[in-house]
Amino acid sequence: MTTVIRYAEWSIGADRSENAPPPIRQVECVNCGERSETCTSQLGPDSWALRHAGLSGHGAYREIVTAYLRVTPAPGNPLYPQAEPFPTRPSYIPRPAPTRHSRRPA
Ligand SMILES: [Zn+2]
């Protein structure tokens, strides 16, 4: 019996390919567990937290970010020159929920 163990360099980082989906953000109130809608911009979840704080007095939040990563062959890996682009949107990646932004008058 022969065992071959092959070592190759790979790298991982933010997926910056043309078709990569943007990060999806959401804010959760640490006090009551309520959450903002998911959004691909920072403005929506932040605005929700500001409104929620104003209405509830809750001041502690955590941000939940789903960011897409890409693993590619690193220099020295025999597959390095053959790196393929990230698929447009694999079926396992849900589409972000539509967001609604509203502002209070100043
Ligand atoms: Zn709350």
pLDDT by residue, tens only, the chain of 106 residues = 666 657 788 899 999 888 889 999 999 999 999 999 999 999 999 999 999 999 999 999 999 999 999 988 888 888 887 666 545 555 445 555 555 554 455 4
First to last CA, the chain: 76
* Residue 12 CA to ligand 1 centre (angstroms): 35
Structural domain harbouring 60: 22-74
* Residue 32 CA to ligand 1 centre (angstroms): 4
Q: Is 34 part of any domain?
A: yes
CA distance 79 to 9: 10
* Residue 53 CA to ligand 1 centre (angstroms): 7
What confidence score (pLDDT) does residue 73 get? 87
DSSP H or E segment with residue 28: strand 24-29
Q: Is 97 part of any domain?
A: no
Q: Is 61 part of any domain?
A: yes
One-character DSSP codes across 45-99: HHHHHHHHHHHH----EEEEEE--EEEEEPTTSTTGGGPPPPPS--TTSPPPPP-
Q: Is 85 part of any domain?
A: no
Q: How many domains does the chain have?
A: 1
